[in-house]
Amino acid sequence: MTKKIHIIVGMSGGVDSSVAALLLKNQGHHIEGLFMKNWDEDDGSDYCTAKQDLEDAKQVCAKLNIKLHVANFAAEYWDQVFDYFLQEYKQGRTPNPDILCNREIKFQVFLDYAKSLGADKIATGHYARIATINEKTHLLKGLDQSKDQSYFLHALTEAQLSQAVFPLGELQKTEVRKIASSEEFAIHNKKDSTGICFIGERRFKDFLARYVPKAPGPIETLHGEKIGKHDGIAYYTIGQRHGLNIGGLKNYSEEPWYIVSKSQKNNTLIVAQGSENPALYQSALQTEPPHWICNTPTNFPYSCTAKIRYRQMDQACELTKNNDGLIVSFSSPQRSVTPGQFAVFYQEDICLGGAVIESAINQP
C-alpha cells in the first residue's frame, strides 16, 4: 500500500491498535482514531474496562498527534450481537460473539461510520493479513502463529476486507510490544484483553443468569444413570470439567467427569469420566450453511484443513455437502465438538471461510 490515504484506526486503548496507528502514521497516511463503545456501562457493574481503555486511547492519540473520535455503538451491538448471543445460549448452544462483532460492528457499523468521516479505509490491530490474488481479496493468517486471529475474521466478506488494513499481520507480538516500549507508550506492558468486555472478571454463569433463567435438570452418565443436578444446560459447555459438583461417587473411580453432550429436549447434561474418554471425541460434524470469503468450492468432496476453536492446530478434513450445510469429516477425531461454535476452513495460509457447528457426528 504505497498510495497515501485517509485511514481511521479502531483504537481500543491496547498495545496492538496503538502500534497499528503508529505504523500507519509512519508510512505517511492521514490517520485518525476511533474508540468504539459497544456496551452500556450503566448496567451497575464495574467489570467493563471501557472508561480506562478510553483514557489510554486518548493518551496514545495525543502522543501521536492524531484526532480521536468516540462513537457509541451499544444499541447496534445489542441488536446485532448480544441478542444472538442470548438466543444461542437459550437453545443450549455455545456462541462466539467476537466473530459476530467483527462482521456486524467492527467491519460494518464502524466501517460505515468511518466512511461518513471521509475515510478511505479502516484499520485494526488484528494479527491477520490481506492479499490480492487473481484480482480477489483474500484473508491470510497472521505470521505470528500464536496470535493469528484469522479465525475471528473468517465471517467477513471480500468487500469488507478490501476496505480494511491489518498493519500487524507481518509482525510477532514480541516485536509489537518492543515498538510500543521504544515509543514510550504508557500502555506498552498493558495486559491483553481476554474474554468479553461486559463479562470481565466475574463468573460467566452469574452474568448469564441475569438474562437466561435457571432451569435445573439432571446430570446423567452415558448409561442414563442420574448422578447429579445442574442449574440449566445454558450455563455449561461441551468438554467442561469444573463446576459440575459431582465426584466421590460409589462404584466410580476418582477420575474427573466431563460434559460430553447436552440434551435440550430432556434438559439433561450427559457426562463421562476421564480426559481421554472416547465420548469426548467425534470424527465429524454437521454445519449450518457456510460462508465463503471469495472462492466458493465447487468440487466436492473438498479437502482442506479446519479449526473448531481459536489457536487449535489446523486439522486435515474433507468437506461434503449435506442439505444447505456441510459435513466435515476429520482425519483424526476431534475433542469437544461444540454446537454454536465455528468451524473455520483453510488452504495453507489462506482462510477460506467457515460455518456454525450444528452438531457432532460419530462416523465409523
| Total Cβ atoms within 10 A of residue 177 | 17
Q: What are the pLDDT tens digits along the chain (364 aa)?
A: 568 999 999 999 999 999 999 999 999 999 999 999 988 765 545 556 778 889 999 999 999 999 999 999 999 999 999 999 999 999 999 999 999 999 999 999 999 999 999 999 999 999 999 999 999 999 999 999 999 999 999 999 999 999 999 999 999 999 999 999 999 998 888 888 766 666 666 678 888 999 999 999 999 999 999 999 999 999 999 999 999 999 788 889 999 999 999 999 999 999 999 999 999 999 999 999 999 999 899 999 999 999 999 999 999 999 999 999 999 999 999 999 999 999 999 999 999 999 999 999 976 5
Q: Strand 325-335 to strand 136-141: parallel, antiparallel, or no bridges (unpaired)? A: unpaired
What whole-number distance in Å separates Cα of residue 295 and Cα of residue 302? 13
Contact 121, 162 (CB under 8 A): no
What whole-number distance in Å separates Cα of residue 237 and Cα of residue 210? 18
Instruction: Judge if pTM exceeds 0.85.
Output: yes
Residues designated as active site: 101, 197
> Domains of the chain by range and CATH?
6-182 (3.40.50.620), 214-275 (2.30.30.280), 281-361 (2.40.30.10)
Query: Inter-axis angle of helices 15-26 and 50-64, to 10 degrees?
Result: 20
